[in-house]
């Protein structure tokens, strides 16, 4: 984790973004006070699709409707 002043952040933004892309967190300060952070964007990473599918399957096994009929429940809800 690095710390840079606001002037340095402004003049070296592209290099700071490259450092963040590699996983580094950078704190930007103004007059010695932290005002912002540049952090890696996690949403840009592709999720592990196979792991997500396994999580969904596990959730479905652990959470059931307890014998209720989903179609009947939907139809009953529409009557009100």
Could you tell me the residue range of the domain that residue 49 belongs to? 44-78
> Closest Cα to residue 34, out of 6, 71, 66, 69?
6
The 3 state secondary structure assigned to 33-61 is EEEEEECCCHHHCCCCHHHHHHHHHHHHH
The reported pTM is 0.52
Q: Are 26 and 50 in contact, with CB atoms under 8 Å apart?
A: no
Residue 4: per-residue pLDDT: 95
* Same domain (yes/no): 29, 57: no
Task: Kindly report the CATH number assigned to the domain that includes residue 7.
Answer: 3.40.1620
CA distances from 9 to 20, 31, 35 (A): 12, 13, 12
* Same domain (yes/no): 15, 38: yes
Residue 43: per-residue pLDDT: 56
* Same domain (yes/no): 8, 35: yes
Task: Read off the pLDDT of residues 9-42 as tens digits, 9 standing for 90 and up.
Answer: 999 999 999 999 898 999 999 999 999 999 988 7
């Amino acid at each position: 984790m690095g710390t840079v002043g606001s002037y340095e952040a402004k003049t070296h933004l592209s290099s700071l973004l490259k450092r963040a892309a590699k996983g580094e967190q950078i704190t930007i300060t103004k007059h010695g006070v932290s005002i912002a952070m540049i952090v890696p964007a996690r949403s840009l990473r592709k999720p592990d699709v196979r792991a997500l599918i396994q999580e969904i399957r596990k959730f479905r096994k652990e959470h059931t409707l307890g014998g209720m009929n989903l179609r009947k429940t939907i139809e009953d809800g529409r009557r009100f």
